[in-house]
Structure 1
Amino acid sequence: MARNRSIAFPAVAAAVLIAATACSSARHDTQPPPSGEFRKQTLHFATTVGPDDKTSCDVIGDLYTPVDASAAHPVPALLTTNGLGGSKEQVAMYGNYYAAHGYTVLAYSGLGQGGSGCQVYLDSPDFDGKAATRLVDFLGGVDGIAFQDAAHTLPVPAPDYVVHDKTDHDGHSGPHDPRVGMVGGSYGGAVQFAAAARDPRIDAISPMITWNDLSYALVPNGTGQLTGVSTAVPGAPKTQWMNRLSGGSTCRAGMAELCGLRDVVSGNGYPTREQVDMLRADSVASYLGRIRIPVLLIQGEQDTLFNLNEARASYDGLRAQGTETKMIWMSAGHSVLTPEPGSKVGVVDPAVNYWDARQTRWFERYLRDGDGDTGPRFAYYRNWIPFAGDPAAAYGTADNAEVGAPRTMYLSGDSRLTDDRSAVRPGNQDLTTGPGGTELSWTTAPVGTALDIAGIPKLTVRLAAEQPLNGSVADAAVVFASLYDVAADGSSALIDGLITPARITGLQDPVTISLSGLVHRIIPGHSLRLRISGSAEGFDAPSAVHRLTIAAGPEQALVLPVVGS
């Protein structure tokens, strides 16, 4: 597929909720405390991008400069850009806060958005990554990049007031290596990986509510993972999200390839191999090994676009290769834009926003050579914990992301979900996949004490088909797994809107499905319900129709990550 393609996500409020120091220069303790005053200047940047460096793009950005910054007293820098469909104004809060606290901030509109030229790409390292690298050049003192005008006729000199490092993170020494980090959410989160993969001068990043593998995000498969969330076989397309992104029945300008993806999956029920490769190529899953700087991941618990599994995949991969990484699961995401009580959207306020407090300490540590505590390795928001003032009280913390102890619940033939293996009753239940597919469910008894779940549940089932599967993607059986909170009156609610599809090409062995991660309390008197269905709202119904049978037995089990008991 040609690389001159474009795709855009809508601007969403959630996107703005939003030994590394071995390469550092000497400490700058002589810098006086910032006055809090700064100036702001809108600039145009001449960038050249693409795999052949032949695509010229004008990037518009706002440069926030502390009035105290000077060549004698240099300051560190931050880059930030918007979620797709937005602009530099969407991330102005980072400029306003960090410039008032002694950082130079360059907030820019991503390619093809908010006044910047060229088209929108999928945070490709060759396009978006190279554009960010050009801005790092500017912050490092390279002239001939910034201009007052879009025609690039009125040059603006590069800053001489940004701290420089002696070497980059590849150990190379150069004259234009600024101390610089990146912050932002959604598309503005993934671009940080794309930039850091290309530019070893970037010192620390904090990607928020973003993806690990875009093929999983848009066409997720909960089974058959190769590594992280990536699978050899595509899952079920998120038709509802694709329609929102592409503009519905008519194709939004610049969205031809997303519309093409939508049209293919609406006909087949799955994307082509080429489309999967395209999505995965512009995902950190494909180049995670090139990310070697400190990473603070922040993901939303209520996010049906980029779920917690994506952040966990990035976290696990980075930690496994020795990259300094910490992770926060906050309350809101693309699906629910309301953060925890008392928190504020659209401003940076460490006093009331837990993630802001963690980010400010992260950048103090890695951009200012600070020695303060950057917080726990893993933190997750628990909406059942009351607090007043400090939101940190509502966060559970741990040194490991595996905070929940496994608790096995068995699928009984009488539709009960029980943790007593001896109580499982025999029985077969039938399920039909495809348009208008049927559903099955298993429900626990009302819990006597709170059941707190935090992590990624795993479902293992053995399925039998009335007609054998031929092993192809087209003939696969597609099922959807989800968890519900059932009240004492029998009413039920889908937990955080999370549904996990699984495309199954063979039934010789039991199938294990990694459900969407969640943090949820089942309160006393409520029950937990597992539902397996042959179709699901928000997803394209698979074209292949299969009649499946699930027989009760000890190998049919749901494993929950349970904390606190």
Structure 2
Amino acid sequence: MSYRIGGLAVALGIGSAVVSGYGVASADPVDAGTDTGTSTAADADTSSDSSPDTSSEPKSREPEPKDDETDSAETEKATDTDDSDKSVTDEAEAPKKKRPNKTRISERDPSPRATATVNATRVERDDPEPEAALADPPRDLTQVSTPPAQDAPVVTIAAVDPQPEASEQQAPDPVESATVAVAHAVNTLFGSTEGDTPSPMESAAAWTMAAAARRELADPAPESDQPAAQNTAQIEATAAPVIAIPQTPPLEFLQHIPVIGPVFVTPLVAAIHQIPVLGDALHPFIGYPLRPGSPAPRDVKVISADGTAIYVHFMPARGLAPGETAPTVLNGPGLGLPGATNIDGTVLDDILVDTFGMISVGTLRHAGYNVVTWDPRGEWNSGGRLELNAAEFEGRDMTAIINWVATQPEVLLDAPGDPRLGMTGVSYGGGIQLVTAANDTRVDAIVPTIAYHSFNTSLYKAKAFKTSWATLLTGVLALTLARTNPRILPAAIYGGLTGMMLPADEDLLTSRNPVIGDITVPTLLIQGTVDTIFSAQETDAIAQILMDNGVPTKVVWFCGGHGVCANNFFDMRDGQVIEQRTLQWLDRYVKGVPGAPTGPQFEWVDQRGQWFSSDEYPVRKGTPIVATRGAATLPLIPYVGGSGFPFVPFALKAFNAVNVALPKATETTYVVGAPEVTLTYSGVGTSRHVYAQLVDNTTGLVLGSLITPIPVTLDGKSHSVTVSLEPVAHTLRPGESITLQLVSSAGTYERILPSVGVLNIEGIEVSVPTADAAVVSAPGTTVQITTAA
């Protein structure tokens, strides 16, 4: 039980994406006679040792272009097909489809490892012309073409002029004004996010870069919240060669001291890296444990398209010999976490994968993959500010990282500039997979875990603000000294006070949502049944779009995520299933192992830890469980008697509730999916929502600790509303039953300014979906971990 409690503490720091970032540097042309510095993307070695053997590759390749060719032909990536493997759907066997009329992001020079000479430049800031901030940003980012490398090119980091927001046409209300004032005070305490004064952390990072790149840096200009179209066009038109600044930890020299270094210091460094988060936080100072005889891990700062330095870690596959290559996995961190650097994994890996679905660096390296991690912009040792995984910011960061990865000698390539590439990561690290796969055709497969389809439907479901998670996430950002978009903190405070968001902040969230329809690569979606911020509804929305587009898709529900699995603390089978399915998916679609199994299309776990599966998603429906209730009255009282505790994101059985008892099961019944509730009511008061949850009558626990807001209009008139509740997975044995509770308040959505009223219920109808028992398979309780060689 203790590790579950510890896991919950970690969960609060892994959440979704309520963050943003900081300054953007611009570089002017260097004056004649200025000294130059050199930045190498990798060795200039282009020997056959770092090139893939085309005879053993499962993907089709184009002939290697000659050195004097200026244009490189786009190489088609094709997913290996095998008619003998029917474990997924027929679509999973189809080759990966290319998006029409889109250019591969990196059509690169045949020798991508060319050394780039960077002229020393003085960074200046230009004052941009004002422009409305809420203009729709461009979403098609795939028309990027990297020009062929030249001998010692002069590299200029293109300036991206921020576009300040237009002033509001009407004066904000007093609550909004107060929240903005509070936000500015907090920003002053933890580091400014606007204006000309950088925070102490950002200044230190900037001067470190200056020393490495031999540049003189001035005050950074603030990034725009909503990048304008000409900014995107500018970046695409001025695509530059890869710039990566090697990073040397200041204390690494201790490992080189004779006798003391290898005997005492290196084991200590290895032990520190066994501790999650702490090892990663100390890594920039102590480095990796040094080991001779194999390709060494390394760190660089990759310069993104807008000049932001992203701190990147490259860890070669375990056992990789010099001259050998391997496919690569980009493993993204959750919110508030630095990029993982635990090359051998950590002592808590089994707990982390079981609780959050978090695959470790050690597991991926042991399975034969190079692993790349990074600090997202605005956090830890990366520059800029977090922009909620925006395609225009974090999406371009990933393109820059992939460009650099393609230059590394240990990386298996499908074509020059095109690495064999998969992605993993949880929460915020799951969202960036969706953004990257939609933007960059070089990604071969993704495994988003406890991720989101829409910030709006997850953080502001039915216009109800998740105050509990907003409070936790902004607290994490403050504790980690993250540089946040200046609109985020006021939105969180305003939402906490009123339970609402301003239209401009809703628009900001909308602009940051991934464009799922542009994803064409095989996608394994892993979601938690007790996730109280990104429920299974988010995964379902993603899966439906992908399957409609013919994309190979698989869905796994496990008991974990941003929540607490209260039913079986010590059952570690969820982590085993997640690890197994993740590696199988990568083996099939990244390594290209013919016939590598990936399991049924849909697998889920119930409240007792029992695993079930179906060959199709969503599972074929059985007879629903239905119930109705007539007139009742619900006093709308804040804070007391509702579901759970105020500002805590977990649901509990309520005392102030209208209960609708559902009939007992007469046979084993699989409740799988989203229940539906129709409420007919009238009432008066200031409340805008009531809340619905399902309670297990056997244990008294709320199914998945999930609660759903139901919007109400309390104007004294009669209204009717139908709402789909959060999806659940629950098995009823004969004689067992569940109860629908309609409650007045919920800790997940509670707000500071209370709302009151009376709800006069005229009728309630509830329908709970079940799975057709004929198509449900119970694979058993033992999971064997097998991976393809």
- TM-score range (shorter-chain normalised) is 0.7 to 0.9
Q: Are 2:250 and 1:42 aligned?
A: no
Q: Which residue of 2 aligns with 1:370?
A: 593
Identify the match of residue 739 of structure 2 among 514, 526, 529.
529
Q: Which residue of 2 aligns with 1:515?
A: 725
Q: Are 2:622 and 1:405 aligned?
A: yes
Q: Are 2:705 and 1:481 aligned?
A: no
SS at match of 1:481: strand
The superposition leaves residues 172-223 of structure 1 with CA deviations (integer Å, 9 ceiling, x where unpaired) of xxx31111111111111111112122211111110101111112222212xx
| Letter aligned with residue 463 of structure 1 | Y
* Structure 1 range deviating more: 443-452 or 193-202: 443-452
| Letter aligned with residue 308 of structure 2 | S
Contact 2:310 2:375 in 1 (8 A): no
Shift of 1:519: 0.7
Aligned ranges 1:31-70 → 2 under 5 Å: 39-48=295-304, 53-68=305-320
Aligned ranges 1:204-243 → 2 under 5 Å: 204-221=445-462, 234=463, 236-243=464-471
Rounded to whole Å, the distance in 1 between the matches of 2:308 and 2:476 is 31
Which one has a larger percent strand, Structure 1 or Structure 2?
A: 1
| Letter aligned with residue 429 of structure 1 | A
SS at match of 1:244: helix
After superposition, the Cα gap between the structure-2 partners of 1:74 and 1:40, relative to the gap in structure 1 and judged at 3 Å, is closer
After superposition, the Cα gap between the structure-2 partners of 1:245 and 1:15, relative to the gap in structure 1 and judged at 3 Å, is closer
SS at match of 2:619: coil
Q: Are 2:505 and 1:297 aligned?
A: no
Contact 1:63 1:104 in 2 (8 A): yes
Q: TM-score, normalised by structure 1?
A: 0.73
Q: Which residue of 2 aligns with 1:358?
A: 581
Rounded to whole Å, the distance in 2 between the matches of 1:208 and 1:297 is 6
Rounded to whole Å, the distance in 1 between the matches of 2:461 and 2:497 is 17
The superposition leaves residues 481-518 of structure 1 with CA deviations (integer Å, 9 ceiling, x where unpaired) of 1111123xxx7222221110022459776311111111
| Letter aligned with residue 377 of structure 1 | Q
Shift of 1:63: 2.3
* Structure 1 range deviating more: 523-532 or 538-547: 538-547
Q: Are 2:539 and 1:540 aligned?
A: no
Identify the match of residue 198 of structure 1 among 436, 439, 463.
439
Shift of 1:61: 1.5
Aligned ranges 1:159-170 → 2 under 5 Å: 159-166=408-415
Contact 2:681 2:760 in 1 (8 A): yes
Shift of 1:477: 3.3
Rounded to whole Å, the distance in 1 between the matches of 2:693 and 2:79 is 53
Q: Are 2:380 and 1:131 aligned?
A: no
| Letter aligned with residue 58 of structure 1 | I
Rounded to whole Å, the distance in 2 between the matches of 1:178 and 1:336 is 38
Contact 1:46 1:58 in 2 (8 A): yes
| Letter aligned with residue 770 of structure 2 | V
Q: Are 2:77 and 1:24 aligned?
A: yes
Rounded to whole Å, the distance in 1 between the matches of 2:742 and 2:456 is 23
Contact 1:485 1:493 in 2 (8 A): yes
Q: How many residues align?
A: 460
Identify the match of residue 557 of structure 1 among 765, 785, 788.
765
Rounded to whole Å, the distance in 2 between the matches of 1:110 and 1:11 is 18
| Letter aligned with residue 540 of structure 1 | E
After superposition, the Cα gap between the structure-2 partners of 1:129 and 1:213, relative to the gap in structure 1 and judged at 3 Å, is same
Contact 1:242 1:258 in 2 (8 A): no
Contact 1:296 1:362 in 2 (8 A): yes
Rounded to whole Å, the distance in 1 between the matches of 2:438 and 2:458 is 21
Q: Are 2:393 and 1:122 aligned?
A: no
Q: Are 2:701 and 1:493 aligned?
A: yes
Contact 1:39 1:66 in 2 (8 A): no
| Letter aligned with residue 363 of structure 1 | L
After superposition, the Cα gap between the structure-2 partners of 1:163 and 1:39, relative to the gap in structure 1 and judged at 3 Å, is closer
Shift of 1:114: 4.1
SS at match of 1:120: strand
SS at match of 2:597: coil
The superposition leaves residues 340-359 of structure 1 with CA deviations (integer Å, 9 ceiling, x where unpaired) of 855389xxxxxx71111111
Shift of 1:90: 7.0
Identity of aligned residues (%): 24
SS at match of 2:372: strand
Q: Which residue of 1 aligns with 2:406?
A: 140
After superposition, the Cα gap between the structure-2 partners of 1:543 and 1:385, relative to the gap in structure 1 and judged at 3 Å, is closer
Contact 1:80 1:91 in 2 (8 A): no
After superposition, the Cα gap between the structure-2 partners of 1:241 and 1:504, relative to the gap in structure 1 and judged at 3 Å, is same
Rounded to whole Å, the distance in 2 between the matches of 1:14 and 1:84 is 6
| Letter aligned with residue 380 of structure 1 | W
Rounded to whole Å, the distance in 1 between the matches of 2:379 and 2:496 is 28
Q: TM-score, normalised by structure 2?
A: 0.53
Rounded to whole Å, the distance in 1 between the matches of 2:59 and 2:565 is 35
Rounded to whole Å, the distance in 2 between the matches of 1:562 and 1:216 is 24
SS at match of 2:451: coil
Q: Which residue of 1 aligns with 2:271?
A: none
After superposition, the Cα gap between the structure-2 partners of 1:309 and 1:178, relative to the gap in structure 1 and judged at 3 Å, is same
Rounded to whole Å, the distance in 2 between the matches of 1:162 and 1:14 is 32
Contact 1:206 1:297 in 2 (8 A): yes
The superposition leaves residues 61-113 of structure 1 with CA deviations (integer Å, 9 ceiling, x where unpaired) of 24224453565x53211111211111223775443233233222212222233
Q: Which residue of 2 aligns with 1:343?
A: 572
* Structure 2 segments unaligned to the other structure (5+ residues): 1-7, 16-57, 61-75, 81-292, 346-359, 643-655, 774-789
SS at match of 1:492: coil
Aligned ranges 1:235-254 → 2 under 5 Å: 236-247=464-475, 253=481, 254=483
Identify the match of residue 333 of structure 2 among 82, 85, 104.
82
| Letter aligned with residue 384 of structure 2 | C
After superposition, the Cα gap between the structure-2 partners of 1:434 and 1:91, relative to the gap in structure 1 and judged at 3 Å, is farther
Contact 1:483 1:528 in 2 (8 A): yes
